[in-house]
């Protein structure tokens, strides 16, 4: 067992997978000598050489598109997008190539690629260093979309992604990189893609969240329990394909649900989760499916009070839960 | 007679290619032409759906570079690479099944006609986004370098596609890392209705290579022997780890952008002029000169190929489309089946 | 009054706005001499010259990004993206620049730009000539997203878009270009952005749809009415900001709703509409909010039976409506 | 003395710029330097949030081209263009208020520090996506051409940003339409931690202009007078409708990529070497030689500017942040207010 931060979990997952399988390689901006702007790839170029840890030019189209090409001929690329804000130039390659090459070729070509994307707010990053943009990939069949909230999941899911045969968008929340630690087993382990985690059982209401919002929800629960409200807390972990069964079972049990999402509300992942709950287990609901989300303004303005106002937090979650409980 | 033969031998020598190569190039060129003309006709008869992009007039630019590649060498094509499909050896029935989108197509009818590809034969089925496969092929070349394999990648694109940002990013990366890739630009003077003069302020797109630190060369793209030699040299160079080359082949498409385009943005005399530079008749003229072909031999060859094509078309047309449920397959690996919907 | 097809409505809107305001100009691939691959810009270069109808190189980044720049200094660009499938390369410019320039500058710079995007299936276009991708823009605050279903709306909304001061993604459904006609007034008219249209009043159930799906819903209604089911039919027209009031009022009245969307289901526009209905007017619902959508596979496979299977149609809508009615 | 003066006059003449221009360039250069060093310090003291990108060492590349522009000329900057903001005349208080993200900033605290912009002064606030403003500025130039105005656009970017696809698309379009724009590449040898040798296989990024059919030139970017002259010529040419120019300014950033970067990927001797080429002291040396500056005059100037800066900082720091509700504003025009959410 070793106490490990979220970012160390990611680094070690890459190091172990690279040692295990020589077809795994990394490409991205500043990931080599520098070890990445957040140091996620620290030491890896020393260990695995410049051929397997490639400092790319500022070319997000190529970082992803070149990785797809390499994946077609036997490699398992792990490209890094330095900030989720800069994934927009790669949309063409992700959507039109990675997500569809298996489909359009009737399964002849496959794309085992894991794009690591550093994302998320509450770091004073403003409009261009706080974005997530997970909803775009969530709506694209052919992609796997992951967002771990804990070091264990970060390591286990990243390993599953790298070993898998599908293109994965792997979101890492930069606010979590150094703020959370966990004891991780020394032996090799993976976390299955497609399974949500019930982090806490409860009976009055279900909270569904992912990424940083899982931690905000945890915070909210402390205060809610003081008021005698028993919350079941689900961390989605895999966004696509999302784990309907686990979420539905929980909501069937509690009959009430609050969905928490960091990104702007309209058209987000929780819109789907909410719509699906209403569509498929309507009869079990005793109150409206309620969302706590970022504001419907560009994610997110720079000045600290504006950033704070934009983001969901424990206080907002508590209020929403109480409203649903009192419904 | 003897003198004549000696003469032929010497012009054969001059051309610097073996008889086998010359005949191989010609055979693929002719097959490509006949298949393409046939598919045009079938489309016009409504025998298959979607659309059809003819490459008639520019076959030498695809057959020439492809001839002699290994199966493991990768091609990243665009939409006029029927010649690459034929030459790299995708069976006729597979090519045609893909055009007809039938159940026996290896893609099960999911891709567009003209998006020729084959995993086995190392051709990446294109997405339609232009220059997309240029980026992917560059990534394949990057992989070959990491894998220390001496495979090469070949990327085909029109002059129009060079305006795309992704094209720039790919060539820039290939230059930095001296990747084993050869870029073939088919400059046919038009991108759909837009003339090359509105595509760039330079006359020759090969000049773009200067921005990436590797050589670019502009050649007569309708001389199949020249195209093959220049490309083969560049491929050999790439295989040795000496970096990429950009080859601009000057050529022309005889027909519309696709079969529904009357192409009346072009002047008729321009079309006529280029038809005179027909790569097939030019190759034949050389073969006649070399004594490698006669009219009879040619006709026999044409008839044989036409029969092959006809047989393949009949075989394909007898096969139905995939059943609707096929739509659910190949989204993910088997680990993640798609949820069925019922109303 | 003049009988006008959907595409003629679009052409005439552009022609009239260009005549009215010299800051309006067009840029796109093949739009000049050729008049566009669908002929939407036919005759406009002759009329307004090469400076105002610009045949661009194959550069979707520039088509949009250059238009944004021009918009900043007084122009009203109307760039064309030839197929929605090819909008992916422009995502960076649309999301990071157009949608956010007003916001990030505190309102100093604005971007009055209308991106015309030819979209949609049921034309045998396969994976790369059938896409819509409206959900990406729908989830981006700062953008207006329109999709007219009729010639009147096509003309009126396009004019509103061009005259407005916000960046607009204007989706034109290629299946409708020549398949529907309508008598249009000779005098100038506009259609307000942000207002849905109640196309038909009814009392048993509400159908909400847009674009081609509006027409499929109309078809479905014919058969439903024969069975005595009275349907209220809403055409959203504006996707962002969507008209919650009109939709909520209708569902409050009918208590039942079916949402019809051409694109894949997961993460689509109707997820938001469904989630919002469940969240905000929960008590009025007598049955689950039900969606009829494209399959959750890449939109869409080429072979005719596969395309047909992918798309919603009148038959599927009828079945879904009956299920909801019988609930 | 008299001889000395005559000498100075002749070297002044040699340089080909008026005394007013020389002093104007120097004044802006010095002000930029002092402001930049001050902001670095303030950031290190935790006086403002976010991050800070210093441009110390490369000020001549922004001050030189910007000096003499009209308000209506447009600048598309990146993240090291504090010199353009100062020189084009954004008031100090506005610049600092933006860095501090205060309520009195024209952007109301929404943009990132160093994303300097001003509608009034014709500088487009950058998005962080590199080369983004290169595309926008090219669009402005396109508009000027349509509007038949003789305004010009100036785009600034590092050598790293030239690897981006959008950069290629913009320059390609500018070449085709001979747009009134000047592209300034600040080649400071590094893009964050990545050396220029991993950014492209060519030594000089000016060579990329060849791909677009307009001239590219590489110059000493730390000689403010040279930078100004070359840029002014290119701007004049662009204004006359004679098309774009790409100017590569060789320069160097003294400090880290941002203030949190120790920049230990660079060799110390490289840094030392470039510090010797300091654009400010080089300008001063010329001014001393010309007899336009003395040590006393310089000190007085420094003190005056420092006081101005200090006053502006104090003014700004007294202003609070915007109230939270401000987050809802400026999403759309007034027609489309954003829905408020209450929990
Ligand atoms: C990104 C993108 N934009 C637009 C199109 C539509 N389109 C298909 S082919 C074509 C012209 C291609 O010209 P060129 O690259 O010269 O190839 P050619 O057709 O001349 O062989 C266009 C604009 C596309 N497929 N992809
Ligand atoms: C599209 C994009 N990718 C990555 C980044 C992160 N990033 C910010 S500055 C920078 C390096 C820029 O290098 P260069 O263009 O040479 O400018 P310099 O910092 O040297 O002035 C990088 C990679 C970004 N802002 N935008
Ligand atoms: Mg062409
Ligand atoms: Mg640099």
Tally of CB atoms within 10 A around B40: 16
Instruction: Judge contact between B167 and A91, C-beta under 8 A.
Output: no
Mutate to test the interface with A, among D110, D134, D265 (most CBs of A within 10 A): D110
Which domain range does residue D51 map to?
14-320
d(CA A262, CA C191): 35
Spatial contact of A85 and C96, defined as CB atoms under 8 Å apart: yes
Q: Which chain C residue lies closest to D73 (C-alpha atoms)?
A: C73
State residue B14's pLDDT score: 79
Cβ atoms D128, A302 nearer than 8 A: no
For residue D194, the surrounding DSSP H or E stretch is strand D194-195
- How far does the CA of residue A18 sit from the closest CA of chain C (Å)? 31
Say what the pLDDT of residue D115 is.
95
Option in B192, B326, B343 nearest C30 (CB): B192
| Domain-embedded: residue D329 | no
Label the pairing between strands A257-264 and A290-294. parallel
Three-class DSSP labels, A43-77:
CHHHHHCCCCEEECCCCHHHHHHHHHHHHHCCCEE
CB of B180 closer than 6 A to ligand 1? Answer: no
| Cβ within 8 Å of A, C 226-245 | 240
Determine the pLDDT at residue D1: 39
Q: With a 6 A CB cut-off, is B330 part of the ligand 1 pocket? A: no
Residues B155, B78: Cα–Cα separation, whole Å: 8
Q: Where in chain C is the domain with CATH 3.40.50.920?
A: 197-325
CA distance B98 to B316: 9
Angle between helices D19-44 and D2-15 (to 10 degrees): 80
Domain count, chain D: 1
Contact yes or no for B57/B251 (Cβ under 8 A): yes
- Residues with CB under 5 Å of ion ligand 3 are B 158-160, 188, 191
Q: Does domain C2-184 have CATH number 3.40.50.970?
A: yes
pLDDT category at D14 given cuts 50, 70, 90 is confident
Which of D109, D332, D335 is the best substitution to test chain C (most C C-beta atoms within 10 A)?
A: D332
Peptide bond into B176 cis (omega under 30): no
Residues of A in contact with B173 (CB under 8 A): 56-57, 59, 62, 66
CATH number at residue D20: 3.40.50.970
Closest by CA position to C261, among listed B328, A132, A272, A100: A272
DSSP letter at D223 equals -
DSSP string covering B147-192, please? Answer: HT----EEEEEETGGGGSHHHHHHHHHHHHTT-SEEEEEEE-SEET
Q: How far is residue A83's CA from residue A37's CA, in Å, rounded to a whole number?
A: 10
For B72, other C-beta atoms within 10 Å of its C-beta total: 13
Q: How far apart are CA C237 and CA B128, in angstroms?
A: 29
Residue A234 burial (10 A CB sphere; 0-12, 13-18, 19+): buried
Q: Please state, as a whole number, how many other Cβ atoms lie within 10 Å of the Cβ of residue A186.
A: 7
Ligand 2 centroid to Cα of residue D144, in Å, is 28
A89 CA closest ligand 2 atom index? 1
- B129 contacts A104? CB cut-off 8 A: no
From the list A10, A11, A55, A15, the residue with the least C-alpha distance to A34 is A55
D137–chain C nearest CA distance, Å: 6
Using CB distances shorter than 6 Å, the residues near ligand 2 are A 29, 58, 60, 82, 86; D 80, 128-130, 157-161, 186, 188, 190-192, 257
Distance from C-alpha of B311 to C-alpha of B313, rounded to nearest angstrom: 5
Distance (Å, whole) CA C303 – CA B324: 9
Residue pair C44/C11 in contact (Cβ under 8 Å)? The answer is: yes
DSSP string, D144-181: HHHHT----EEEEEETGGGGSHHHHHHHHHHHHHT-SE
Q: Is residue D117 part of a domain?
A: yes
Three-state secondary-structure class, residue C252: helix
| A142: chain C residues, CB-CB within 8 Å | 297-298
Q: What is the pLDDT of residues D191-217, one digit of tens each?
A: 999 999 999 999 999 999 999 999 999
Residue B4 has pLDDT above 70, yes or no: no
Collect all residues of chain A within an 8 Å Cβ-Cβ radius of residue B108.
106
Beta strands at D181-187 and D153-158: parallel, antiparallel or unpaired: parallel
Q: Identify the sign of the CA torsion D244, D245, D246, D249.
A: negative
Tokens matching residue A79: 């490209």
Is residue B341 a part of any domain in this protein?
Answer: no
| CATH topology assigned to domain A197-325 | Rossmann fold (3.40.50)
Q: What is the pTM of this model?
A: 0.98
Nearest CA to ligand 1 atom 26: B129
Residue D197 in contact with partner chain A when CB distance is under 8 A: no
Tokens found for residue A83: 């900030």
Question: What are the backbone dihedrals phi and psi of residue C5, each rounded to the nearest 5 degrees, phi first?
Answer: -80, 170
CA–centroid distance for B286 within its chain: 22
The DSSP element (H or E) to which B38 belongs, if any, is helix B19-44
State residue A216's pLDDT score.
Answer: 98
Structure tokens at B153: 């990648």
Question: Hey, whose CA ends up nearest to atom 9 of ligand 1?
Answer: B192
Q: Which residue, A173, A200, A201, A129, is CA-closest to A262?
A: A173
Tell me the C-alpha distance between D245 and A227, whole Å: 69
Nearest partner of B227 among B156, B160, B164, judged by Cα: B156
Which residues of chain B make contact with C59, given a CB cutoff of 8 A? 163-165
A293 φ, ψ to 5°? -140, 175
Close Cβ partners of B110 (under 8 Å, ≥ 6 residues apart):
A103, A104, A105, A106, B101, B326, B330, C126, C127, C301, C302, C303, C306
Q: Scanning every residue of chain C, which has its alpha carbon at the shortest distance from the alpha carbon of A102?
A: C298
Counting residues of chain C whose pLDDT is more than 90, the rounded percentage is: 100
Judged by CB atoms closer than 8 Å, whether chains meet at A57 and D323 is answered as no
| D135 contacts on C by Cβ (under 8 Å) | 61-62, 65-66, 68-69, 93, 97
At C197, is the secondary structure helix, strand, or coil?
Answer: strand
For ligand 1, whether the C-beta of B141 sits within 6 Å is no
Ligand 2 mutation pick, D164, D184, D192, max ligand atoms within 8 A of CB = D192
DSSP B57: T
CA A215 to chain B, closest CA, distance in angstroms equals 28
**Is residue B339 less than 8 Å (CB to CB) from chain C?**
yes
Q: Is the pLDDT of residue B6 over 60?
A: no
Cα-to-centroid distance, C28 and ligand 1 (Å): 12
- Is the peptide bond between A278 and the residue preceding it cis, with omega within 30 degrees of 0? no
Cβ proximity of A233 and A207 under 8 Å: yes
Rounded distance between C-alpha atoms, residue C23 and residue C110, angstroms: 15
Residues C282-301: pLDDT tens digits?
Answer: 999 999 999 999 999 999 99
* Mean pLDDT score across all residues of chain D: 96
- Cα separation, C317 vs C324, in Å, equals 11
Q: In this structure, how many other beta carbons lie within 10 angstroms of the beta carbon of residue D45? A: 8
Question: Residues of B with CB below 8 A from D165's CB?
Answer: 164-169
**Could you tell me if D171 and D244 are in contact, meaning their C-beta atoms sit under 8 angstroms apart?**
yes
| Whole-complex ipTM | 0.98
Q: Cα(D59) to centroid of ligand 2, in Å?
A: 18
Instruction: Say which of A127, A240, A280 has its CB closest to residue C100.
Output: A127
Q: Which two tokens stand for residue A264?
A: 């702007």
List chains touching B (3+ CB pairs under 8 A).
A, C, D
Tokens representing B188 are 């046919």
* pLDDT per residue rounded down to tens, chain A (327 residues): 899 999 999 999 999 999 999 999 999 999 999 999 999 999 999 999 999 999 999 999 999 999 999 999 999 999 999 999 999 999 999 999 999 999 999 999 999 999 999 999 999 999 999 999 999 999 999 999 999 999 999 999 999 999 999 999 999 999 999 999 999 999 999 999 999 999 999 999 999 999 999 999 999 999 999 999 999 999 999 999 999 999 999 999 999 999 999 999 999 999 999 999 999 999 999 999 999 999 999 999 999 999 999 999 999 999 999 999 999
Question: Tens digits of per-residue pLDDT, C118-145?
Answer: 999 999 999 999 999 999 999 999 999 9
Does the beta carbon of B98 lie under 8 angstroms from any beta carbon of chain A? no
Q: Is C186 exposed, middle or buried (0-12, 13-18, 19+ CB in 10 A)?
A: exposed
Please choose, from the candidates B126, B118, B127, B129, the residue with its C-alpha nearest in 3D space to the C-alpha of residue B160: B129
* C-alpha distances out from residue D90 to B332, D52, D97, Å: 54, 18, 11
Of C220, C293, D173, C122, nearest to B343 by C-alpha is: C293
Please classify residue B13 by burial: count the beta carbons closer than 10 Å to its beta carbon, then call 0-12 exposed, 13-18 middle and 19+ buried: exposed
Cα–ligand 2 centroid distance for A181 (angstroms): 31
Ligand 1 within 6 A of CB of B105: no
Burial of A222 per CB tally in 10 Å (0-12, 13-18, 19+)? exposed
Helix (H, G, I), strand (E, B) or coil at B103: coil
Distance separating alpha carbons of residues D205 and D199, to the nearest angstrom: 10
Closest-approach residue (CA) in chain D for B204: D211
Q: How many CB pairs under 8 A join B and C?
A: 127
């Amino acid at each position: 067992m070793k106490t490990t931060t979220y970012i160390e979990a990611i680094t070690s997952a890459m190091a172990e997978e690279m040692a295990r399988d020589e077809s795994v390689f990394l490409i991205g901006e500043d990931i080599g000598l520098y070890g990445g702007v957040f140091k996620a790839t620290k030491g890896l170029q020393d260990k695995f050489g410049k051929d397997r840890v490639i400092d790319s030019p500022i070319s997000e189209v190529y970082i992803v598109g070149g990785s797809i090409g390499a994946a077609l001929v036997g490699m398992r690329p792990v490209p890094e997008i330095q900030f989720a804000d800069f994934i927009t130039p790669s949309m063409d390659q992700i959507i039109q190539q990675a997500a569809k090459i298996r489909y359009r070729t009737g399964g002849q070509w496959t794309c085992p690629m894991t794009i690591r994307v550093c994302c998320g707010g509450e770091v004073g990053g403003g409009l261009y260093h706080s974005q997530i943009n997970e909803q775009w990939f969530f709506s694209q069949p052919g992609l796997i979309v992951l967002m771990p909230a804990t070091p264990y999941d970060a390591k286990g899911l990243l390993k599953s992604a790298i070993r898998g045969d599908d293109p994965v968008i792997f979101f890492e929340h930069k606010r979590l990189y150094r703020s959370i630690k966990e004891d991780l087993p020394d032996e090799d382990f993976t976390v299955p893609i497609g399974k949500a985690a019930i982090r806490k059982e409860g009976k009055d209401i279900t909270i569904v969240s992912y990424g940083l919002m899982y931690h905000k929800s945890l915070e909210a629960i402390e205060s809610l329990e003081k008021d005698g409200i028993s919350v079941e807390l689900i961390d989605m972990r895999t966004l696509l394909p999302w784990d309907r069964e686990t979420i539905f079972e929980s909501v069937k049990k509690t009959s009430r649900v609050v969905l928490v999402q960091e990104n702007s509300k309209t058209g987000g992942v929780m819109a789907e989760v909410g719509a699906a709950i209403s569509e498929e287990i309507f009869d079990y609901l005793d109150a409206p499916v309620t969302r706590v989300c970022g504001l419907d303004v560009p994610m997110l303005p720079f000045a600290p009070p504006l950033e704070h106002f934009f983001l969901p937090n424990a206080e907002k979650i508590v209020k929403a839960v109480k409203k649903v409980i009192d419904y | 007679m003897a003198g004549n033969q000696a003469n032929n031998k010497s012009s054969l020598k001059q051309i610097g290619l073996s008889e086998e190569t010359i005949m191989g190039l010609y055979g693929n060129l002719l097959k490509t032409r006949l298949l393409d003309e046939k598919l045009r006709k079938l489309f016009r008869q409504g025998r298959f759906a979607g659309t059809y992009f003819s490459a008639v007039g520019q076959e030498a630019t695809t057959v020439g570079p492809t001839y002699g590649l290994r199966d493991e060498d990768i091609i990243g094509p665009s939409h006029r690479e029927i010649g690459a499909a034929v030459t790299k050896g995708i069976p006729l029935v597979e090519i045609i099944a893909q055009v007809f989108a039938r159940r026996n197509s290896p893609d099960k009818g999911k891709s567009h006609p003209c998006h020729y590809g084959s995993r086995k034969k190392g051709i990446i089925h294109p997405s339609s986004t232009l220059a997309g496969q240029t980026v992917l092929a560059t990534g394949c070349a990057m992989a070959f370098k990491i894998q220390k394999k001496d495979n090469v990648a070949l990327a085909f694109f029109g002059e129009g596609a060079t305006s795309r940002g992704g094209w720039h990013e790919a060539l820039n990366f290939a230059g930095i890392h001296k990747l084993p890739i050869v870029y073939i630009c088919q400059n046919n003077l038009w991108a759909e209705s837009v003339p090359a003069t509105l595509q760039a302020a330079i006359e020759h797109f090969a000049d773009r290579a200067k921005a990436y630190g590797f050589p670019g060369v502009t050649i007569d793209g309708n001389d199949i022997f020249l195209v093959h030699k220049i490309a083969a040299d560049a491929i050999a160079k790439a295989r040795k780890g000496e970096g990429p080359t950009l080859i601009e082949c000057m050529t022309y498409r005889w027909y519309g952008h696709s079969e529904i385009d009357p192409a009346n943005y072009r002047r008729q005399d321009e079309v006529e002029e280029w038809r005179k530079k027909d790569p097939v008749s030019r190759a034949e003229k050389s073969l006649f000169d070399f004594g490698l072909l006669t009219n009879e031999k040619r006709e026999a060859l044409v008839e044989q190929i036409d029969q092959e094509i006809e047989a393949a078309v009949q075989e394909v047309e007898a096969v139905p489309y995939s059943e609707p449920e096929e739509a659910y397959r190949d989204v993910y690996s088997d680990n993640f089946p798609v949820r069925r919907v019922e109303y």
